[in-house]
Amino acid sequence: METLNSSDLIRDDEIFLRMNPAERIQHFLLILTFTILIVTGLPLIFYELKIFKTLMSFERAFYIRGVLHRIAAMILIVNIIWHFFYTIFTKRGRSNFKEMIPKFKDVRDAWDLFWHNVGLTQLLYKKGVLKTFFEKHPYWLFEKEPEFGRYNFIEKFEYLAVAWGSFVMIISGFFMWNVELSLRLFPLWVHDIFVIIHGYEAMLAFLAIIIWHMYNVHLNPEVFPMSKIWLNGKISGHELRTLHPLEYRKILEERKRILESESL
Ligand code: HEM
């Protein structure tokens, strides 16, 4: 058999499914509910801001804000329950979750990418500082970017942050919603902590989404102006090769194996 090129087995314009319709709907519901929860929650903290004063200027605005916050909270909870069952009871859900579990490699990837981006050791080497050390230990030059599998450490961290953040917001929000129950079960200071946590976690989540997530899926030069995966679920062979090389190679190996077993 002739030796096969990787481009023969995976064309750059071949389309792979990265997010199926169920995953896209879950992601869309998360965007929708999160936006409503932020817009209807933050006015309680930043009530002095002009934008919130204008938004809340009409009669019953505050009442409607509270109702919308609770409706969005319910949809968020249903969405999370759906995702939970999807993860447990579908093969694809289980496989995605397995790929999402953080490993030691993720810590190392974060470390390697940080120093690769900073470029300090390469600069020192170019200037002739510690030249013999770097020639003996080229790892410390961080010349190559780490290679990622189906999910990189940033995506894994974001997923964990959503899981942990939702848990915290649902528990604290539930007791803020049911104040009487909360005060029957806990002393007042515990309830006060629920309120504090709910507010600060909301700000943290808002900033994380605006700064981190938006950079990774919009502004990052590798995907600018926007990764369309959340809309059409598709990723090309080229994107797979450059952004998720380990997953790309896994598919390649599988195809090679199938081809070899067919030609036997
Ligand atoms: C990511 C999701 C969420 C965000 C970003 C968010 C945001 C906020 C913010 C910023 C506040 C104002 C806190 C303060 O006054 O210090 C608030 C209040 C509140 N939140 Fe949330 N929240 C979320 C989820 C939830 C959930 C899941 C529930 C219910 C289970 C909930 C129920 C409440 C309640 C009852 C209040 C009290 C004020 C009101 O009547 O609206 N929240 N939320």
Measured from the Cα of 203, ligand 1's closest atom is: 10
Compute the distance from residue 105 Cα to the ligand 1 centre, in Å. Answer: 36
Q: Tell me, what amino acid is at 4?
A: L
Distances (CA, A) of 219 to 28, 120, 189, 215: 20, 24, 42, 5
Q: How far is the CA of 82 from the centre of ligand 1 (A)?
A: 21
> Is the model's pLDDT at 1 over the cut of 50?
no
Please state, in angstroms and rounded to a whole number, the distance separating the CA atoms of residues 115 and 101.
Answer: 24
What pTM was estimated for this model as a whole? Answer: 0.90
- Tokens 């170019």 label which residue? 126
Dihedral angle of Cα 35, 76, 211, 99, to the nearest 10 degrees = -150
pLDDT at 4: 59
Query: Do residues 194 and 175 touch, judged by C-beta distance below 8 A?
Result: yes
7-100+148-263 is a CATH 1.10.3720.10 domain:
no
The 10s digit of each residue's pLDDT in 64-91 is 999 999 999 999 999 999 999 999 999 9
User: DSSP character for 107?
Assistant: H
Residues of the chain with CATH 1.20.950.20: 7-100+148-263
Q: 124 CA distance to ligand 1 centroid (A)?
A: 50
Ligand 1 centroid, distance to 88 Cα (angstroms) = 28
Indicate the top mutation candidate among 46, 69, 197 to test ligand 1's pocket, ranked by most ligand atoms within 8 A of CB. 69
Is 80 exceeded by the pLDDT of residue 179? yes
How confident is the model over 34-40, as a mean pLDDT? 96
Q: List pocket residues of ligand 1, CB cut-off 6 Å.
A: 34, 37-38, 41-42, 44-45, 66, 69, 73, 76, 169-170, 173-174, 176-177, 195, 198-199, 202, 205
Q: Phi and psi for 16 in degrees, rounded to 5?
A: -115, 155
Task: Please tell me the residue having the least CA distance from ligand 1 atom 29.
Answer: 173
**Helices marked H in 90-218:** 91-100, 104-118, 120-126, 131-136, 153-177, 179-185, 188-207, 214
Look at ligand 1, atom 5, and give the residue with the nearest C-alpha.
202
Cα(171) to ligand 1 centroid in Å equals 10
Q: What is the pLDDT of residues 194-240, one digit of tens each?
A: 999 999 999 999 999 999 899 988 888 888 898 899 999 999 999 99
Q: What is the pLDDT of residues 242-261, one digit of tens each?
A: 999 999 999 999 999 998 89
- Protein residue whose Cα sits closest to atom 35 of ligand 1: 177
Buried b (16+ CB within 10 A) or exposed e, 78-101: ebbeebeebbeeeeebeebeeeee
CA distances from 135 to 26, 126, 145, 253 (A): 49, 12, 19, 33
The backbone torsions φ and ψ at residue 235, rounded to the nearest 5 degrees and listed phi first, read: -135, 140
- Calculate the alpha carbon distances from 205 to 41, 95, 212, 213 in Å: 12, 27, 10, 10
Determine the distance separating the centroid of ligand 1 and the alpha carbon of 198, expressed in angstroms: 6
Sequence-distant (6+) residues with CB within 8 A of 37 are 69, 72, 73, 76, 169, 202
